[in-house]
């Protein structure tokens, strides 16, 4: 059956090839009247080639679109996305992208559900990390659909798998908290664990906290960059950790409260690999940094602190009613009184 004019053609290449069937389409003629072709792709069987041609005519992507890789799509998407995204979110997207390294060089049009699932299944990180990977896949396929790079979103079929034991949130026990206090004088970075437990900060929020946003006289500080809207908040400084804030405020000229031994801004990976993980192993504790935040909530609840105040301190948006979000306003002293109970 003859195709209509302008539909394109399927042809077979000479020699022994794994994908001998080519698909192309005429895009014009040169000055001598010779046809100019756009090569769409190469396929193992004539049937595959015919289907590809039909698919192309339903979704006529450009030559650039047919060859653009996963890495190139990420680069194009991130240029727009990162301009209006918090640094903590950017770090999360970049970390997810690195985990998907096995598909970086693949043409985006060739990526199917099995390729994405293989990335997910090979990831040894916790459930939270896998959720971030899927979010990245969702974002990239949305971008690809909007720009006519593909016509189907395979990311929505990717499964995270069962939650593993490592992803379960576990608070620090009272005995473990006591052990931290016992070791706080021998290593200044043990103070970081204590600060996290008695503020409810995410580790990224603490590492990115600048001295200009700390108000010692008021016993509070402002979180101005967080992964959620509720995370932008004023946090009280508990009396028992006040001296640690004074220490770090006066330690050096670094703009950030917590700094490296060289007085530089801490990156999460550096902090986790060089300080958190080795100390946890030494103390024979099995915790992630986020467990400190879970511990804060548990300690406040055990001290019978009002749930709305707890949410205000730690920046939880979950389960907050409209009244809690819009009409309630706690003076900093009320937050200080609450944090001093633990």
Contacts of 42 (CB under 8 A, 6+ apart): 13, 17, 19, 20, 21, 22, 23, 49
Alpha-carbon span 204 to 91, nearest angstrom: 10
Pairing of strands 35-43, 21-29: antiparallel
Q: What torsion do the CA atoms of 65, 71, 72, 76 make, to the nearest 10 degrees?
A: 120
Q: Which CATH number fits domain 70-167: 1.10.150.130, 2.40.110.10, 1.10.230.10, 3.40.50.720?
A: 1.10.150.130
With 0-12 CB in 10 A as exposed, 13-18 as middle and 19+ as buried, what is 323? exposed
Where does CATH 1.10.443.10 sit in the chain?
Answer: 174-339
Tell me, yes or no, if the pTM score tops 0.85.
no
Which residue intervals of the chain are DSSP H helices? 46-58, 63-67, 70-81, 87-99, 113-122, 127-146, 174-183, 190-197, 203-207, 242-249, 268-271, 277-283, 290-302, 307-314, 322-326, 332-339
Alpha-carbon span 101 to 96, nearest angstrom: 9
Give me the pLDDT at residue 60, please: 56
Alpha-carbon span 303 to 299, nearest angstrom: 6
Where does CATH 1.10.150.130 sit in the chain?
Answer: 70-167
User: Rg (Cα) of the chain, in Å, rounded?
Assistant: 27
64 bridge partner residues = none
Among candidate residues 16, 61, 17, the one with its CA nearest the CA of residue 39? 61
Contacts of 193 (CB under 8 A, 6+ apart): 180, 279, 292
User: Which CATH class name applies to 174-339?
Assistant: mainly alpha
Give me the pLDDT at residue 318, please: 53
How much of the chain is in helix, strand and coil states, percent to nearest 5? 50, 10, 35
pLDDT (tens, 9 = 90+) of the chain, 342 residues, equals 666 777 888 889 888 888 888 888 776 676 676 777 767 777 889 998 888 888 777 765 554 566 788 988 998 899 889 888 888 888 889 999 999 999 998 889 889 999 999 999 888 777 788 889 999 999 999 998 888 788 889 999 999 876 544 444 588 999 999 999 999 988 899 999 999 999 999 999 999 999 999 999 999 999 987 666 666 889 999 999 999 999 999 999 999 999 999 999 998 888 988 999 999 999 999 898 989 999 999 999 999 998 888 988 998 655 444 444 443 445 788 999 999 999
Pairing of strands 21-29, 9-12: antiparallel
Alpha-carbon span 156 to 242, nearest angstrom: 47
If residue 236 lies in a helix (H) or strand (E), which one and from where to where? strand 233-236
Phi, psi of 96 (to 5 degrees): -65, -40
10 bridge partner residues = 23
Give me the pLDDT at residue 166, please: 40
């Amino acid at each position: 059956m003859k195709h209509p004019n302008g539909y394109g053609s399927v042809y077979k290449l000479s020699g022994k090839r794994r994908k001998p069937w080519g698909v192309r389409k005429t895009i014009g003629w040169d000055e001598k009247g010779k046809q100019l072709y756009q090569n769409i792709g190469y396929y193992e069987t004539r049937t595959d080639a015919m289907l590809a041609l039909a698919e192309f005519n339903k979704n006529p992507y450009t030559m650039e679109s047919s060859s653009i890789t996963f890495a190139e799509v990420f680069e194009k998407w991130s240029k727009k996305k990162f301009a209006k995204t918090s640094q903590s979110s950017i770090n999360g997207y970049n970390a997810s992208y690195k985990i998907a390294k096995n598909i970086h060089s693949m043409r985006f049009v060739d990526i199917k559900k099995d390729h994405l699932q293989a990335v997910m299944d090979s990831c040894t990180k916790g459930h939270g990390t896998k959720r971030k990977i899927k979010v990245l896949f969702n974002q990239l396929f949305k971008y690809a659909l909007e720009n006519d790079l593909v016509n189907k979103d395979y990311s929505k079929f990717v499964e995270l798998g069962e939650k593993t034991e490592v992803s379960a949130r576990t608070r620090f026990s009272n005995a473990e908290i006591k052990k931290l206090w016992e070791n706080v004088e021998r290593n200044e970075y043990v103070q970081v664990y204590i600060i996290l437990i008695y503020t409810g900060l995410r580790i990224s929020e603490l590492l990115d906290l600048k001295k200009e946003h700390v108000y010692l006289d008021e016993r509070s500080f402002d979180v101005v960059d967080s992964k959620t809207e509720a995370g932008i908040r004023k946090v009280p400084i508990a009396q028992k950790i006040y001296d640690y804030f004074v220490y770090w405020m006066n330690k050096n000229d670094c703009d950030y409260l917590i700094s490296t031994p060289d007085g530089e801004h801490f990156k999460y990976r550096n902090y986790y690999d060089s300080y958190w993980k080795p100390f946890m192993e030494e103390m024979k504790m099995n915790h992630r940094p986020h467990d400190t935040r879970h511990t804060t909530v548990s300690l406040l609840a055990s001290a019978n602190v009002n749930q709305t105040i707890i949410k205000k301190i730690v920046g939880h948006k979950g389960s907050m009613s409209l009244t809690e979000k819009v009409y309630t306003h706690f003076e900093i002293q009320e937050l200080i009184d609450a944090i001093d109970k633990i």
